Structure 1
Amino acid sequence: MPNSLAPIVRSLSTRTSLSLTRTSLFNFMILLAGVFAAAAYSLIYLAHDMDQSEQAESAFHTRKAMQSMEKSMRLTVKDYAFWSDAYKHLHLKVDNEWAYTRGNIGATLFQDFGFQGLFVVDDAGRTVYAVVDGQLQTLDLTEWLDQPITQLLEQARAGVESETPISTLINVRGSPALVAAAAITPGTDPTVVADDREPSVLIFVDILDGTKLGVIGDDFGVNKLHIATPNEIAKGTFVALGNNGSAGNLYWQPERPGMRLIGVGLPLLGLAALLVCLMTWVILRRSTAAALALDASHASLQNSRSALATSEARFRDVVEASSDWVWEIDADWRFTYLSERFESVTGLTRDVWIGAAMNDLLTTEGGLLSQWLCNPQRCPDLSVQCVYLDAKGQERTTRLAARQMACGGFRGTATDVTEEVEARRRIEFLSQHDALTGLPNRTRLQAFLDGKLKALPTPERPLVMLSLDLDRFKPVNDLLGHAAGDRVLNEVSSRLTACVRHGDLVARVGGDEFVLILTEAGTQDEVENLCGRLIAAIEQAICIDEQEVFISASIGIVLAPNDAVEVAELLRYADIALYEAKAAGRNTWRFYSGEMNARIIERRRLESDLRYAIKHGELRLHFQPRYRIADGQMVGAEALVRWQHPVRGLIAPDTFIAIAEESGLILSLSDWVLATACACAAEWPDNLFVSVNLSPIEFKRGDLVQRVHHALNTSGIDPARVELEITESVMLEDAVGALEIMHTLKQLGVRIAMDDFGTGYSSLSYLRAFPFDGLKIDRSFLTRLEDSADDKAIIQAIVGLGRALALTVTAEGIETAEHLAMLKAVACDEGQGYFLSRPMDVTAFNGLLADDRRHTQPI
């Protein structure tokens, strides 16, 4: 080929290559545009779906809020309407002094519940008692509501037999109003004589204004709940009140998680698209530059200086595209070259540092950087971590890589690793500290203890460990939420840290459990004084959103080397001492002793033996007969579990029931008792029932209703012959859940009795609201009869209460003839006790049943 044509051919080849490259990049851009469009569409679709789901969930919570308010208002009006005093003072006659002046049904309902209107309408439809906004008024309910109330009165009176109140939503002067009504009846009071008139109706009115709706919305997680405007109704999502919205419509400001997602996602997609376009442009630019450089190199093969310039330009492009900055130093350790990235990374000026000593900029932990570079054992691929001060005076960390040049000096790269180093330090800190409070965690605690124990503390100057657990902390989480619980834990952490000295350690090792290590505690009195200060500090009120929270603490104390010298043993013994402190009533402290460990070991051994006993048939069931006091006839028997231990002999339930409840064995133990008691009672005469005690834990878990149903079906016993005894602690812990379970049990046909009545916080409201068939007077009232004359009056009052509520009253612990005579005198229904019969095993009880004379002989 002639030399004159070679440049033309090379030029055509270069242009063809550039054209193909541009076409490929253009096709790639079209493909990426399609991908980004699909991603944007998916993001918008997902955001819209999230907003729709949030709208539906808000509507659900709004309906639940209104249903909850209706239910609460029906229960409130029921409590007042089915009350004999209300019947006497608001139906038989209207006594304003009793109702309003004394506050029985007056201003307190406006102040406490916010009911704007309280009305009583008599059988003639006249409003005979009215309280509006807490003030006694003389007005007509129909005029105040601006609508007829005939249908409301009829519905209220229709529920008089079943004691069922009614509620409805109406529109009062442009605002939705919740109305609850119930016919006034004498209840179960036998002293009130009902007249022949139709019952008067008690009516409560709660107008839901904007402020009240906002509070309801906040309680149920609905943002800015309010009465819907026509424009908001047109949007389609609202909650209608009353019949097809006759009482108004509710609207709220729904959360828009989808819009937030779009606000974050679309800019990120746009940024990604922009970066891809920029990268494509850079690649195209580089390709063009490379092609032109290649063409220029072929055109000037004879010009070595031009080729060297092209090579240097290519090297500069690569260097500046990198995130690292490149450096060179001469044999005197002075910078001879710094890339442009040096300024963008460090903020320093290249011109100032070129010619300056490298040791003046970069330092290492192992000495001068020049010493490291001169180390003959340094591998060429090794790197060193250095620090320097950037233009803002902040310390930055960089990783330096270097190679020696043939002409002397060194060349290398520097990578900024400040964020990486900080992240590593943060990870190391979090591995030994609690993320919530910042206190040392269990790992740091163990390392601290190991170091202190190696110093060999003496009995005279022991190392003291305090295991501290918060009391009454769980209700904070349950009532105020976990966020409030976290704030309480942070405040407690600060108070604990303020009580100890420098050099001591406060660690958080569990949810609400802390461990304190005291290195210079001194005498036992000093340790006890510190415990007192710790509890006093924790007991101080903690303000959470203008609400005061009060908690306390229990502390277990262990000493090293007096009690143990190993970390694991110290922690275990401290937990044992803490357990003893909680068992002693909480809000106190206990020092560890060997007897505590022995009790724990004994308790664990009993737990293990009990687990084996349940599985291998070591349990026994005894029955204590229950007699009708009036004629001495046996009416049933209480099933009492015993444990026939192969070594300890027959063990009473007081020893192992608490262990079963704490270890979770109570469910399997109760299953055995239920099944065995029902199977045995199925063989008894049909006029006898069996009574079985239930643990409060069974109401919290264990599918109690299904288990009782299974025992009834398996044994084939008539459910009416089975009585379940429960204590009032069940209702104190979860009244709503317990009531639901008890109603379900009643649907099975069984009887329910309140056990140990009078020993705790027994409330008349429990006896009225809960479906009890009977109550059992605790044995403590009978055992104190000789010492306390008041107990006889109490027993007589309980019997009268049971008779008024149509409950069977059973007395426990009848030990003497005097006990029996007194119970006969007050007409107690049933009784059991050692004077009548001791508990007996199945064989003896069946023999008792076979003795017809015992059945017919009066007590």
Structure 2
Amino acid sequence: MGVRKVSRSRTVEDRLKDIQHEILIAVASGKPLPEVMALLCKRAEKIAPNAICSILRVDSSGRLRPLAAPSLPDAYSQGIEGVEIGPMVGSCGSAAYYGEPVEVTSIKTDPRWAVYREPALALGLKACWSSPIKSHDDRVIGTFAFYFRTTRRASKLEKRIVERCAHLCTLAIQHWAAQNRIRRLAFRDPLTGLGNRALLVEKFPTILERARSRGKEVAVFYVDIDGFRTINAQQGHKIGDQLLTNISRRIRNVAADADLIARLGADEFLIVRTARESRAEFEAMAVELTDALRDRYVLEAGLEVRAAASVGVACFPDDGEDLDALMGHADTALSRVKSGGRAGHAFYTARMDAEKRARRAFERDVSAAVKAGQLSLVFQPQADAHSCAVRGFEALLRWNHPIHGFVSPAKFIPAAEACGAIEDIGTFVLREALLQAAKWRKNLRVAVNVSPAQIIRADFAKHVEGLLAETGVDPGRLEIEVTESLFIYDAGAALNTLQRVKALGVSVAMDDFGTGYSSLSTLRAFPFDRIKIDRSFIFDMVTNADAAAIVNSIMGLGRALGRPVVAEGVETRDQLDLLQVQGCNEVQGYLIGKPLPIGSYSNITGVEEEASQATPHQEPERPAVVVAPPRRGGDMLSVVAPKRGHAIASG
């Protein structure tokens, strides 16, 4: 009798070794974890024919996730899905909670089964032995259970089978977890947890194939975060990463029903979504994306930054039938949005391709303009609003394109910002303006418009300091003009740079005042030396009571803050009269003098006109008109058109 027991024991041991060998091969060959666990259950049931095997996984949140129970109905396993482990959660939930085996000899009477007994009893399950599956660091990662159809304890042999099988489960589950971590690194962005380009390449063909079989459209949303590079450069990568994490969270909320969301690069995201009903869903989602992402973000230590999103959209099958084509066309639509200078969205059209080629050619020309000697400056006088004495000049950039002729700064400055040429162009303007000012009478200042793309340079103030030293111009004669768009994305960095500029002795003016989204808050945040009223308010202030009221309010604001106010676009005597009544400090416009080569104002600057300045970039449509000081006893200013556009004498 003893010999037969030893023989039977050895047979079971051999079979367990066979199971171990088979399971390890299955794990090493990369079979899915549920498939491996189902195989283990079937093999265990063969050597324990009176048992019904069940394997559950415990996830990181402490919830049960069925892996395999091939001899039980799927509905039973589904009833366990997501149940939180606890001291009174059947045999498996309790074993996982305590980290110790739990033996229930009667499911019908055991209080741990009170909530869960009915489904088990309906299947004829009357007892259960459950053992925890533990990781190498002693964490509970699952349970291995034998159910019985009679009220009884597990035999020693069955317990030994459970013990060996639980060990195999540990190996299989930990291998699966490690593979998942590797896969996550390969297919997920570690910062945001979104998919990456590799996941996009792998999943996209399946998404398209499914949509094609159902006759559905698929939209590709190419999202670019406006202002991110500025924030990252000024605030550092830590703040940049916090911003991206916040942005990705909002994208997830908006695109919760998308097929796939991926982060492609530093500030670029791609969303893939299949239509449920119509293309109108894509339009609604594009609007929701731009609205959700256009906001101020509160980051570390209460730091607030502003960001927005531009979105380009291409649709399958009309705009392309593979990933490369759709991404390319979505990028073209995105470029269309960004060329407009403000956040928003656009859907791809075939016409955009020609526009994109033309835009790239234009940007190449802009990039080469400085070295090609195609850029030049003209200067427009700024005069005292009452005495009409010229106080200084604003330097204005002109580009004489070899084919297109004179190109408006409103067109080529955004192109220069987009292609990165703005720094070279900005350096040219600032250096040339200072070189000219160095020759003028010392009481005249020179004003230079500066792009936000220049200001955000970490070394901008140092750059200005170097050019002042190079040209020998007193810092007090230079005025930097900035628009409110500078403060949209990162007010903190902008203010820091401007404070360093002011520390040099350079004055700073707010240009185009009144057209921004929060002019008053911006004015409060930084001590500007001068406020320039946008020409749009001056244009019809004589005939439009609302425009006149706005101008008058800005004048009052300037007096309250102790800031001089400059009115741009003054072209008529009536405008000047009204500005004088309202207390305007300085004026600029065609009534005072047109933008001309500086030699045209030699009687003011004290510099003889150079022959080389007399042509090619001149705007000859009409002579410069300048205003003479009012005669004593008269109530009118004499308007004259002097030779070569000479303005009145400097004050």
TM > 0.5 fold call = yes
Check conservation: 1:464, 1:521, Cα contact below 8 A. no
Q: Distance in 1 between matches of 2:306 and 2:499?
A: 35
Alignment pair present for 1:496 and 2:155: no
Q: Which amino acid aligns with 1:432?
A: F
Residue in 1 aligned with 2:462? 706
Residue in 2 aligned with 1:560? 316
Shift of 1:542: 12
CA offsets, 1:615-646, max 9 Å, x none?
33221111112223323333221100111222
Check conservation: 1:696, 1:726, Cα contact below 8 A. yes
Q: Which amino acid aligns with 1:496?
A: A
Higher mean displacement: 506-515 or 847-856: 847-856
Distance 1:745 1:507, change over 3 A: closer
CA offsets, 1:540-593, max 9 Å, x none?
999999x9x999976532123322234222112123334556777988653211
Q: Secondary structure at the match of 1:615?
A: coil
Residue in 1 aligned with 2:12? 353
Shift of 1:713: 1.6
Shift of 1:792: 2.5
Of 415, 431, 435, the residue aligned with 2:186 is 431
Distance 1:480 1:670, change over 3 A: closer
Of 697, 702, 727, the residue aligned with 2:483 is 727
CA offsets, 1:30-53, max 9 Å, x none?
xxxxxxxxxxxxxxxxxxxxxxxx
CA offsets, 1:275-312, max 9 Å, x none?
xxxxxxxxxxxxxxxxxxxxxxxxxxxxxxxxxxxxxx
Q: Secondary structure at the match of 2:555?
A: helix
Of 179, 189, 201, the residue aligned with 1:446 is 201
Q: Distance in 2 between matches of 1:464 and 1:732?
A: 30
Distance 1:452 1:351, change over 3 A: same
Alignment pair present for 1:592 and 2:348: yes
Which of these two proteins has the greater Rg computed from alpha carbons?
Answer: 1
Residue in 2 aligned with 1:685? 441
Alignment pair present for 1:717 and 2:473: yes
Q: Distance in 2 between matches of 1:719 and 1:818?
A: 35
Distance 1:668 1:786, change over 3 A: same
Q: Distance in 2 between matches of 1:801 and 1:494?
A: 43
Distance 1:360 1:790, change over 3 A: closer
Residue in 2 aligned with 1:694? 450
Residue in 2 aligned with 1:638? 394
Of 820, 826, 833, the residue aligned with 2:589 is 833
Shift of 1:768: 7.0
Shift of 1:680: 0.9
Shift of 1:505: 3.9
Higher-RCO chain (CA-CA 8 Å, sequence separation at least 6): 2
Shift of 1:712: 1.6
CA offsets, 1:435-461, max 9 Å, x none?
466654321222333456678959975
Check conservation: 1:362, 1:388, Cα contact below 8 A. no
Q: Percent identity?
A: 35
In structure 2, runs of 5+ residues without a counterpart are 1-5, 27-37, 45-52, 56-67, 69-132, 134-167, 609-641
CA offsets, 1:47-69, max 9 Å, x none?
xxxxxxxxxxxxxxxxxxxxxxx
Q: Distance in 2 between matches of 1:541 and 1:800?
A: 30
Aligned residues: 474
Check conservation: 2:391, 2:443, Cα contact below 8 A. yes
Q: Secondary structure at the match of 1:749?
A: coil
Q: Distance in 1 between matches of 2:175 and 2:415?
A: 52
Residue in 1 aligned with 2:75? none
Shift of 1:782: 1.0
Alignment pair present for 1:785 and 2:544: no
Q: Distance in 1 between matches of 2:560 and 2:295?
A: 46
Residue in 2 aligned with 1:102? none
Check conservation: 2:570, 2:576, Cα contact below 8 A. yes
Q: Distance in 1 between matches of 2:373 and 2:230?
A: 39
Alignment pair present for 1:515 and 2:270: yes
Check conservation: 1:756, 1:777, Cα contact below 8 A. yes
Alignment pair present for 1:466 and 2:221: yes
Q: Secondary structure at the match of 1:590?
A: strand
Q: Which amino acid aligns with 2:10?
A: D
Check conservation: 1:742, 1:771, Cα contact below 8 A. no
Q: Secondary structure at the match of 1:798?
A: helix
Check conservation: 2:231, 2:489, Cα contact below 8 A. no
Check conservation: 2:23, 2:40, Cα contact below 8 A. no
Q: Distance in 2 between matches of 1:796 and 1:654?
A: 28
Q: Secondary structure at the match of 2:388?
A: coil
CA offsets, 1:214-239, max 9 Å, x none?
xxxxxxxxxxxxxxxxxxxxxxxxxx
Q: Distance in 1 between matches of 2:437 and 2:650?
A: 23
In structure 1, runs of 5+ residues without a counterpart are 1-335, 338-348, 368-385, 397-413
Check conservation: 1:458, 1:561, Cα contact below 8 A. no
Give TM-score scaled by structure 2 length: 0.59
Alignment pair present for 1:674 and 2:433: no
Q: Distance in 1 between matches of 2:395 and 2:475?
A: 16
Shift of 1:809: 2.6
Of 654, 657, 664, the residue aligned with 2:413 is 657
Listed as ranges, the matches of 1:803-814 within 5 Å are: 803=559, 805-814=561-570
Distance 1:845 1:453, change over 3 A: farther
Q: Distance in 2 between matches of 1:531 and 1:741?
A: 35
Listed as ranges, the matches of 1:290-329 within 5 Å are: none
Distance 1:492 1:459, change over 3 A: closer
Distance 1:483 1:640, change over 3 A: closer
Distance 1:812 1:529, change over 3 A: closer
Distance 1:533 1:727, change over 3 A: closer
Residue in 1 aligned with 2:329? 573
Q: Distance in 2 between matches of 1:772 and 1:438?
A: 43
Residue in 2 aligned with 1:18? none
Check conservation: 1:712, 1:718, Cα contact below 8 A. yes
Residue in 1 aligned with 2:113? none
Residue in 2 aligned with 1:626? 382
Q: Secondary structure at the match of 1:616?
A: coil
Q: Secondary structure at the match of 1:597?
A: helix
Shift of 1:746: 3.7
CA offsets, 1:816-849, max 9 Å, x none?
2221222233343321212332211244444885
Check conservation: 1:457, 1:560, Cα contact below 8 A. no
